[in-house]
Structure 1
Amino acid sequence: MFRFLDRREIDASDITGNVVIGDVNGTVTQNFTTGAPPSVPILNWRKLPDGEPDVFKAMQWQFRISALHGRDNERNDLLNWARTGPKIRLRLLTGPGGAGKSRLAAEVAQTLNDEGWNAGFARRDTDGAIYALKDGGLFLILDYPEEDPQQIDGLMRALAEVDEKTLSSNVRLLLLTRQSPAEWQPRVDAAHADAILDNQSVTLAQLDTRQAATLYREASNHLADHLGRDAPGVGEDEMTTWQARDPVLHGLPLIVTAAAIHGVLEPGQALGIDGREVVQALVRREIARLNNAGRAAGLGENGGGRLSAMAVLRGDLDAACLRRLAAPELEMGLPAPDRIVDAVSRLPWWDGGKWAPPQPDIAAAVLLHCVLQERPDIASEWLWAALQDSDKTVIEKLGQVDYDISLILGGANNKFSGMLVDMLGNDVKRAMTLSYFVGVVQPSLGLNYLAVRIAELLIQNEQWPDRRAIFLTNLFAYRAAIGESQGAIKAAREAVEI
């Protein structure tokens, strides 16, 4: 299920044993062996690159352009939870995107590593892993586990079945999620993991004015020193006025950090525009930077930004997807399909045979929307080229993207769900490919529109006549979710009549 990228050396004398976590069927054991294990959790603190400002990197938690602010109580609570209590525990760290869940978890992991733990983020795209259970314990962090339900369900089942007497140190699993504990409870119950779940979940709130002003000052000073520029002078009075314009959004650490970055790059506008405008301005800078790099590598005028945008949809782009996107009829301006992989291999975003998506998530979602709006006449076909071989794990990702776009642009300006619907048109075969959307609760309002269109097309599918009543029932639910009460009633009546 897991393997880790980081290959740090671990002295064999520090290792108590190995916790082996297997496939989705669930296997957790402790094996006492000698020598270093094959992998350990990831905790990669990084430094800002020199040269042209990389605004997306500056927003990412790994670059630590300010200290952690407003999270002392939550940090101490998590440390106490890790150090004390039963050998195996599971906990949720909840909060909206941009609240600083990953940064808080990483700081906790760093403290535990300093105390002799094996702590960090798990990588979720492999079939098996062995984790070193050091004297301090094992502290694993999973970011957005809801994006791969089968994987986290298997892991929870596996942990719940472990006999704690076989473990010599504590094992802690921290799930970073936007979903509430109530939304997680059915999944925990189904995995029979309620006994290991700590009901004291941690929910992150917005920063207050003092905390936000301190974060802004530290982040702007750090970036200004790095770039050899002057930092904007912003105090608590200015921050109070700015936060009052949008108390919820302007209390998120990510948005405050983005405002600090923008203030260094555009000192005349320091806290002069709201957080939504700040993110959009930084996204425009990033698209220009991506396109400049893409042109140098032979990806055409706008290829760098467009490929990064498509990677947001899936989590990455593999070679097969790149070749589809390079098809001339999509008019992306990319090299021919037989040359696209060679072209992207010269760029830093191509790693391990895949094009990595931009981060952080909120800014990446806005980047995707901006790029799609460059060519609204054909954007729906770009979406299909990227999504046609996806599976049900993409549902949560698309819901997150749709939500983040609305957060920054406003629901009325979010064209993403409409483009997803346009992607289907009247094509029943496309609806069949995406039939996994039907029968599940959609993670965002916008995805209900896509689910409605998929269900409408599947009802017309002559190959699945025995499933027509099911699709009509689903259509009822999705139409009701978007407020189409008359259409919902009509679908329900048709389902009853079958």
Structure 2
Amino acid sequence: MLNINLFQFDFGKINVSSFNVGSGYVGPASNRSFDNPGELQVPWHELQGKDLDPFALLSWHTRSSNFRGRDDEMIGLEQWALEERPISVKFISGEGGVGKSRLAAEFADHMEIRHDWSAGFVDLNKPQSFNLKRSGTLLIIDYPEEYQESVAEIFHDLARLDQTELKVCDPPIRLRVLFITRQHLKDWQKVITDAKANALVNITPVVLGGLSLEAAHELYNSALVKATEVMGEVVATLSEEMMAAWLEEAAENDQALFIVAAAIHNALYPQEETIKYSGRKVVRLLVEREDSRLRNISKEIGMADDNFCSILQAMANISDAIPIAAFHELLKDTGLQNGLPAKSTLAHCLRNTGLLTGGAVCAIKPDIIAAAFAVVVLTQAQELAPELVWQALSLDLAGGLNRLARLHHDAEIVLGMHEHTLGYWLARSVYSSPDRSALLAPILCRSHLPHALLPAAVAANETLLSKTDDKKELANICNNLGSCYSALGKRQEAFEASLRAVEICEQLAAADPGAFRPDLAGSLSNLGNRYSALGKRQEALEAALRAVEIYEQLAAADPGAFRPDLAVSLNNLGPFYSDLGKRQEALEAALRAVEIREQLAAADPGAFRPDLAMSLNNLGNRYSALGKRQEALEAALRAVEIREQLAAADPGAFRPDLAMSYGAIGNIYHADGQYEKAHDSFFRGIKLLAPIFMENRQGLQGLMNNLQADYLKMCRTLNKVPDRELQDLLEEEGTL
């Protein structure tokens, strides 16, 4: 996927920093070519024409607003880039609309202008070769979650390059790879670890959030000036006081995209002197305006369904781009092409509508707008929506599913569009369709599946369950169903699926132990968790004990392959013992889990330190249950130390774990009568959790409730008034 071809020079004698020292290639190995390498570029687009599509002003590519409020991030990225190490990888993460891509693009320009680097975006869909500069090279990869196999290859190639080509250069050639993602760094950990690339990854991602008042104010006014320039309107800029009031109206209003959208809306409707709507509402209004425009075009070209052009655009938003020639096949069973003039092609009818770019209908940019538009339009075509979603995905099912999950998240979480979702329509499109389910299920069998894709995974696996007699396949389907049901909160269904998986695996393992005992152990671990979720403690313990027994035998024969699984099963075993009052046995299981994970973390800290922290936290609980408070405190403090380091590097991923550890320490102090320290620990946990609570309210509600209850209890015990600032924050987040 990524290859480097260095020219044969004596690098030490080259004085010109911009000298091209080689070329790189990104793409399939079968097409590899270093011929005619081009320059890396940032895809800026010039704004042209007075009646420009307002969405173009929302795209970071058009630079329609001043870049402000990211000075610290730019300094951090520059320091990372200029480190002496030859190869380094870093992540920029954050929700859609916070300005991740714009930050990366501005940073690339900065490195090119200030330090004479070769810097720009690479598209993993399009093979390309590029020049490497002696001074340094920066590759930016957007949406890596959509190209997971390619990203895995890149990490493997980077690990190889670090040991070969680039390491021999003196002084070293700097190669930097910057990933722009919505996922947390820990979500990429397995890919990084499997490639043995942990040493290459900078463990402190750039995590973007909202803008300050000063930055938001300048961003809004600069976007307003540009929009009025383009549209020929004159609108007064906004005062800082008015901006402050608007930011207070809704939590999401401080995101860059919503601020620019508000400016564009005011330019479109200059009679409104203030920002009248929240960021979410402004996006909805802009989408409805575009839908109305496309409906008028449908009428003008004589289509029977006024929704026709809007539907084409919605499908392209899901797919990213659809060639106009492909629509005839995709829509053949929908009746949507009724009204197309005789002997006239769709391309001919749409040639002057502005819908076509290079013979294709392309997705609206940015993604949040594309998501909102797709949901609004498909909601108006409820009966056809599932089929339209499937057809839009069919051109690239694997990549399309990742994109759909992202759009679903933007619409439901970022924009609050809960009533109709892309994930629901996808699930309806595959249910009772064995052919579609067979295509979908293998792609959706991975762990930590995005929530948007869970209903479709359930629909596909339920459909396949009655269509196969192969026992191994049946066991896999049942395990997948158990995981999906559990993630959706369907405990009884999850239990029944996991129980069936165990029964099948027991039959398979009896016939061929060498091949199927690992599957049986994994299925038993799952079953233990399902029993526990139903409150069946004895049955949970028995299943977990069987899993541990098998993993112990497997780890004895092949430690490298099965010790991590053994640690997981021991970690599960401790709470099951504890639930039954078997505290000493729970402690012994926890001690063994910590012992194994300490050894694993010593060999590979990036992969196993989070697991070690979890096991230490559990160990503290086990010691505490036995009244061994000093040992409990020592274990819990070690967990906090690790989690503080992890949370500093990736707050979104590890703050909940750290908050949980503060809660555990608070409970230990409480049991020991150290109420002031308990009070302070619970307070720190709540304060840490509150800013991210609304991002995952369902997942964090239980932890937040426990921390609040313990904190308020300590306030009453100490006769203290709860912290006013914290109460205000919790009320603002809706947790009180």
Question: What is the TM-score with the length of structure 2 in the denominator?
Answer: 0.61
The Cα shift of 1:293 comes to: 5.6
Give the percent of matched residue pairs that are identical in Structure 1 and Structure 2. 28
Residue of structure 1 equivalent to 2:444: 438
**2:260 corresponds to 1:260:** no
Change (3 A) 1:225 1:391: closer
Range moving further from structure 2, 274-283 or 456-465? 456-465
The Cα shift of 1:66 comes to: 1.4
Residue 19 of structure 1: SS of its match in structure 2? strand
Residue 89 of structure 1: SS of its match in structure 2? strand
The Cα shift of 1:333 comes to: 5.0
CA contact (8 A) 2:2 2:154 kept: no
C-alpha distance in structure 2 between counterparts of 1:81 and 1:61, whole Å: 24
**2:216 corresponds to 1:198:** no
Aligned residue identity for 1:43: V
**2:188 corresponds to 1:189:** no
C-alpha distance in structure 2 between counterparts of 1:136 and 1:322, whole Å: 47
Among candidates 16, 21, 28, match of residue 17 of structure 1: 21
Among candidates 402, 408, 421, match of residue 402 of structure 1: 408
The Cα shift of 1:116 comes to: 2.2
Range moving further from structure 2, 464-473 or 146-155? 464-473
C-alpha distance in structure 1 between counterparts of 2:291 and 2:417, whole Å: 22
RMSD of the TM alignment (CA)? 2.9
Among candidates 419, 428, 439, match of residue 434 of structure 2: 428
Residue of structure 1 equivalent to 2:425: 419
The Cα shift of 1:111 comes to: 1.6
Aligned residue identity for 1:308: Q
Change (3 A) 1:20 1:482: same
The Cα shift of 1:112 comes to: 1.8
The Cα shift of 1:259 comes to: 0.9
The Cα shift of 1:464 comes to: 5.0
Residue 200 of structure 2: SS of its match in structure 1? coil
Among candidates 204, 227, 244, match of residue 223 of structure 1: 227
Change (3 A) 1:75 1:455: same
C-alpha distance in structure 2 between counterparts of 1:129 and 1:83, whole Å: 25
Question: What is the TM-score with the length of structure 1 in the denominator?
Answer: 0.88
CA contact (8 A) 2:404 2:422 kept: no
Aligned residue identity for 2:292: A
**2:497 corresponds to 1:495:** no
The Cα shift of 1:277 comes to: 0.7
Change (3 A) 1:15 1:354: farther
Aligned residue identity for 2:153: G
C-alpha distance in structure 1 between counterparts of 2:480 and 2:57, whole Å: 43
**2:397 corresponds to 1:391:** yes
Among candidates 230, 245, 253, match of residue 250 of structure 1: 253
CA contact (8 A) 2:140 2:180 kept: yes
The Cα shift of 1:434 comes to: 1.4
Change (3 A) 1:239 1:399: same
The Cα shift of 1:138 comes to: 1.3
C-alpha distance in structure 2 between counterparts of 1:51 and 1:441, whole Å: 49
* 1:7-406 alignment, distance < 5 Å: 15-21=19-25, 23=27, 37-114=36-113, 115-126=115-126, 128-162=127-161, 163=164, 164-167=166-169, 169-247=173-251, 249-267=252-270, 268=272, 270-291=274-295, 301-318=306-323, 321-327=326-332, 329-331=334-336, 335=340, 339-344=345-350, 350-351=356-357, 354-406=360-412
Change (3 A) 1:25 1:285: same
Range moving further from structure 2, 99-108 or 203-212? 203-212
Residue 212 of structure 1: SS of its match in structure 2? helix
Aligned residue identity for 1:252: Q
Aligned residue identity for 1:123: D
Aligned residue identity for 1:309: A
Residue 119 of structure 1: SS of its match in structure 2? strand
**Structure 1 unaligned blocks of 5 or more:** 4-11
Residue 180 of structure 2: SS of its match in structure 1? strand
* Bigger helix share: 2
The Cα shift of 1:443 comes to: 4.5
CA contact (8 A) 1:392 1:436 kept: no
C-alpha distance in structure 2 between counterparts of 1:302 and 1:269, whole Å: 33
C-alpha distance in structure 1 between counterparts of 2:354 and 2:135, whole Å: 36
C-alpha distance in structure 1 between counterparts of 2:30 and 2:87, whole Å: 15
CA contact (8 A) 1:117 1:138 kept: yes
Which string of whole-angstrom CA distances, capped at 9 and with x for unpartnered residues, describes residues 379-406 of structure 1?
1111222223433223321110110111
CA contact (8 A) 2:221 2:263 kept: yes
**Structure 2 unaligned blocks of 5 or more:** 4-15, 505-736
C-alpha distance in structure 2 between counterparts of 1:438 and 1:145, whole Å: 17
Residue 148 of structure 1: SS of its match in structure 2? helix
Residue of structure 2 equivalent to 1:6: none
The Cα shift of 1:173 comes to: 0.7
The Cα shift of 1:320 comes to: 6.1
CA contact (8 A) 2:231 2:267 kept: no
Residue of structure 2 equivalent to 1:8: none
Range moving further from structure 2, 424-433 or 87-96? 424-433
The higher radius of gyration belongs to 2
Change (3 A) 1:150 1:141: same
Which string of whole-angstrom CA distances, capped at 9 and with x for unpartnered residues, describes residues 202-227 of structure 1?
11121122221121111112211222
The Cα shift of 1:297 comes to: 6.8
Change (3 A) 1:132 1:344: farther
Aligned residue identity for 1:122: V
C-alpha distance in structure 1 between counterparts of 2:17 and 2:69, whole Å: 37
C-alpha distance in structure 2 between counterparts of 1:280 and 1:170, whole Å: 44
Change (3 A) 1:294 1:157: farther
The Cα shift of 1:76 comes to: 1.7
Change (3 A) 1:388 1:90: same
C-alpha distance in structure 2 between counterparts of 1:348 and 1:37, whole Å: 34
The Cα shift of 1:161 comes to: 1.0
Change (3 A) 1:220 1:25: same
CA contact (8 A) 1:24 1:154 kept: no
Which string of whole-angstrom CA distances, capped at 9 and with x for unpartnered residues, describes residues 347-399 of structure 1?
65544554321110011000111111121121111122222343322332111
Aligned length: 483
Change (3 A) 1:20 1:218: closer
Change (3 A) 1:110 1:296: farther
CA contact (8 A) 1:321 1:386 kept: no
Change (3 A) 1:338 1:388: farther
Residue 365 of structure 2: SS of its match in structure 1? coil
Which string of whole-angstrom CA distances, capped at 9 and with x for unpartnered residues, describes residues 405-464 of structure 1?
113542532332221222123222221121234311355323211111111111111375
Which string of whole-angstrom CA distances, capped at 9 and with x for unpartnered residues, describes residues 154-205 of structure 1?
1121122113234563211100011111111211111211121112221112
Residue 169 of structure 1: SS of its match in structure 2? coil
Change (3 A) 1:467 1:269: farther
Range moving further from structure 2, 310-319 or 208-217? 310-319
The Cα shift of 1:140 comes to: 1.0
Aligned residue identity for 1:379: A
CA contact (8 A) 2:143 2:180 kept: yes
Range moving further from structure 2, 128-137 or 115-124? 128-137
CA contact (8 A) 1:20 1:27 kept: no
Change (3 A) 1:129 1:15: farther
Change (3 A) 1:466 1:353: farther
Residue of structure 2 equivalent to 1:9: none
